[in-house]
Amino acid sequence: MSWQPFLSVIPGSVPADLAIKHISYSDISDSWPMKDQVLEQIDDISQQLEGDPTLEAPEIFVDGQGMRRIRYRNKLSEQAFINRPALEEWRCQLVPTALSLWSVQHPLAERLISGREIDSNSRAWFIHANDAQGVRSRAKVMSAIADMYINNHVTGNWISLACGAAVPVLRALRGAKLRAQKFTILLVDHDRQSLKFARGLATQYGLVEGHHFQLLMRNLFDRMIFSDKLVQELGEQSAELVDGLGIFEYFSTSEAVSFIRHALRLVKPGGVLVISNMLTSSPQLAFLLRCIGWPTLYPRTLPELRDIIIAAGVDLKNVTVTLPSDGVYAVLEIKVKS
């Protein structure tokens, strides 16, 4: 891992008053066979889609037997799935739930969470697709940030909003446990299955429910966007660390502003809020949205993120944006002054 913090002054791309940290990590794709060929293949699909905006994303429908199926609406997408049965199963049965991320976080797993064996063609995309690399690198950024806060406290609290399967946060918490530090995490999500999976993973890591972690099923749109009910329920300044790593890019601009305002109320003085957003410059964005057909999200530019931060009432001096070298996500670290 390497990083160089600086205030960027690149005209038109990065706001000059936003602190940017560029970082690079080693990734499983670095040493895996056929990387260049697979990336070239995906890049070609993405470029063709960029060249023809009329090509629509595939859609998922429920057939007469109640099974989720995929309907292709462009040939590029159809050809992409045809020799990748695990990818098709993943798209139909797991996307957009957080359980779909397991396959890109653990691309060497023998099977999808749904049970289907991962074929070699699907595995190559889970390993090498740019967005898959981005999911892994944003988790590493958050783990590094969390590690700083965990190491600086003997005890503390972490609230993970829309935690999903909670893979990166539980890994960090496991590290704290191994260092004999008492850092408790509250895992909040609206999806019962994701929380159930998180409980199982935490147990595998030797974490004890009620001691190291707790689960809370809540809908953030109802309780963190359109109201502050979750803040009232949990209490203001209740955690040193709050994250919304996998949810922020699903909020509209006004929703994103509301989320930051409410989430920051949960952070103790001296603590931090961590969020991430896919960038509009993500190298294979067209592939993700119109070949794979990932559901609607809001990729953003750094100036757009800056405007949201300011609208939420945050001083830019308290914000650091980390940009992994894969170019997929911006990870925002918003500090609350002591």
Contacts (Cβ under 8 Å, ≥6 apart) of 196 = none
Q: How far is CA 80 from the centre of its chain?
A: 24
Q: What is the pLDDT at residue 180?
A: 54
The predicted structure's pLDDT at residue 241:
94
Query: Distance between CA atoms of 126 and 101, rounded to whole angstroms?
Result: 10
pTM of the predicted model as reported, rounded to 2 decimal places: 0.92
- For residue 121, count CB atoms less than 10 angstroms from its CB and return exposed for 0-12, middle for 13-18, buried for 19 or more: middle
Which pLDDT value is given to residue 43?
96
- pLDDT computed for residue 150 by the predictor: 74
DSSP characters for 185-243? EEEEES-HHHHHHHHHHHHHTT--BTTTEEEEE--HIIIIIS--HHHHHH-TT-EEEEE
- List strands edge to edge, sheet with 19-24: 2-7, 19-24, 319-324, 329-335, 267-278, 239-244, 155-161, 182-189, 213-217
Residue 151's nearest CA partner among 159, 143, 162 is 143
| Cis-peptide into 96, omega within 30 deg | yes
For residue 19, give the H/E element and its range.
Answer: strand 19-24
Q: Which amino acid is at 309?
A: I
CB atoms within 10 A of CB 6: 9
| DSSP state at residue 111 | B
Residues of the chain with pLDDT under 70: 1-13, 151-154, 175-181
pLDDT score recorded for residue 214: 95
> For position 112, what pLDDT does the model report?
95
Greatest Cα pair distance, the chain, in angstroms, is: 58
Cβ-count burial 301-314 (b if 16+ within 10 Å, e if not): bbebbbbbbeebeb
Dist CA 56 CA 46 (whole Å)? 13
Strands 182-189 and 213-217: parallel
pLDDT of residue 178: 53
Per-residue model confidence (pLDDT) at position 153: 65
What's 228-293 look like in SS3?
CHHHHHHCCCCEEEEEECCCHHHCCHHHHHHHHHHHHHCEEEEEEEEEEEEECCCCCHHHHHHHHC
